[in-house]
């Protein structure tokens, strides 16, 4: 299960309290504050705290007092300008803190984004839960032939069944051995009073990367958007992409004007090289352009044609 009964009690207690503040708050985000947004089989994303809103971005850009202009359209236009021209500093004025529960192998990808403050659950101090990620059958992709770090066709039949069995058996066995080495069960009770048990910091090395960890992750809006531009992309690994998509929905609630400009210019836009832009100009002029004559590599040519909605030629 994504959250324990104890965590649910804590969430209910936190949500039962309402504070009076002069700080900017966002009703749509307040609706889901502390609530777990379930991801994968045991994971979640929770918003724990936040600072700022759309008006804070505008305020920072104009270095003005209070909120932005009286016209929402003018604030939206400024935010679009900032996003379009990659003026990042105003977006850094907003921050958000997440509580995330995720498989360890996803965490190892995620931690490569070194622009946030992170505090992870310590398996040196506590015993990890018996929770591990097993992909849904439709996510059991074979190794891609072209992309060495991607997936190809979905495994089917007996091969898929064997993979699911191995994942579950190996994970269960690893946790049983983890408990045996610790000489403690998942609930903390002692297995054999006559044994000492191995230190937690050593016993944890026996667990596989599909076991779940948790952390608090605090980041400013600019660096969050950079994270989402990479991890919510269709080319990102599925298991981290679904976390990014959940967080993208949070951004939509939190800063809707920023979300609109981000999806317009970053997620839905395209970045062209100088040579790529020249190819587009030549095509618009009616000139027939081939990959060989374009000055682009085969891969960049293919990407450009995909962006333009043209089949390869």
For tokens 């994942």, name the residue: 167
Which residues contribute to the annotated binding site for dUMP?
A: 109-112, 120-124, 204, 231
The helix/strand/coil state of 151 is strand
Answer yes or no: are the C-beta atoms of 306 and 276 closer than 8 Å: no
- Residue 30: how many other CB atoms lie within 10 Å: 15
**Annotated binding residues for FAD, as ranges?**
89, 112-114, 120, 220-222, 226
Kindly state the DSSP code that residue 127 receives in the 8-state scheme. P
Could you tell me how many helices (H) and strands (E) the chain has, helices first?
A: 13, 7
Query: What is the dihedral angle through the alpha carbons of 300, 305, 311, 313, rounded to the nearest 10 degrees?
Result: -60
How far are the Cα atoms of 64, 86, 202, 269 from residue 261, in angstroms, in the given order?
22, 11, 47, 10
Q: How far apart are CA 221 and CA 83, in angstroms?
A: 12
Q: Does the annotation mark 231 as catalytic? A: yes
List C-alpha distances in Å: 174 to 119, 185, 281. 25, 13, 58
Rounded CA-CA distance 164/135 in Å is 8
Q: Using alpha carbons, select from 222, 232, 223, 224 the residue that is nearest to residue 268.
A: 232
DSSP state of 186: T
* Residue of 22, 231, 266, 274 with catalytic role: 231
Pick from 295, 245, 253, 254: which is nearest to 275 by CA? 295
Q: Are residues 82 and 266 in contact, defined by beta-carbon separation less than 8 angstroms?
A: no
Residues noted as catalytic? 231
């Amino acid at each position: 299960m994504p959250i324990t009964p104890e965590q649910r009690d804590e969430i209910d207690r936190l949500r039962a309290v309402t504070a009076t503040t002069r700080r900017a708050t966002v009703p749509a985000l307040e609706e889901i504050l502390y609530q777990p947004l379930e991801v994968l089989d045991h994971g979640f994303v929770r918003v724990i705290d936040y600072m700022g809103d759309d008006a804070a971005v505008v305020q920072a850009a104009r270095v003005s007092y209070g909120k932005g202009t009286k016209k929402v359209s003018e604030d939206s236009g400024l935010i679009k300008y900032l996003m379009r021209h990659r003026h990042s500093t105003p977006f850094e004025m907003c921050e958000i803190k997440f509580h995330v529960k995720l498989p360890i192998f996803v965490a190892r990808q995620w931690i490569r984004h070194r622009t946030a403050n992170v505090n992870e659950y310590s398996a040196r101090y506590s015993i990890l839960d018996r929770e591990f990620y097993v992909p849904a059958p439709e996510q059991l992709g074979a190794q891609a032939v072209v992309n060495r770090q991607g997936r190809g066709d979905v495994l089917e039949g007996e091969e898929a069944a064997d993979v699911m069995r191995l994942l579950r058996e190996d994970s269960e066995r690893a946790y049983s051995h983890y408990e045996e080495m610790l000489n403690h069960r998942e609930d903390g009770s002692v297995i054999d009073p006559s044994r000492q048990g191995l230190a937690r910091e050593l016993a944890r090395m026996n667990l596989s990367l599909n076991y779940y960890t948790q952390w608090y992750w605090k980041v400013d809006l600019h660096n969050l958007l950079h994270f989402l531009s990479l991890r919510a992309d269709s080319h990102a690994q599925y298991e981290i992409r679904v976390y990014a998509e959940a967080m993208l929905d949070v951004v939509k609630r939190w800063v809707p004007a920023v979300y609109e400009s981000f999806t317009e210019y970053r997620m839905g836009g395209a970045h062209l090289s100088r040579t790529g832009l020249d190819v587009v100009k030549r095509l618009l002029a009616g000139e027939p352009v081939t990959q060989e004559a374009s000055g682009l590599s085969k891969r960049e040519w293919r990407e450009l044609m995909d962006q333009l909605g043209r089949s390869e030629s």
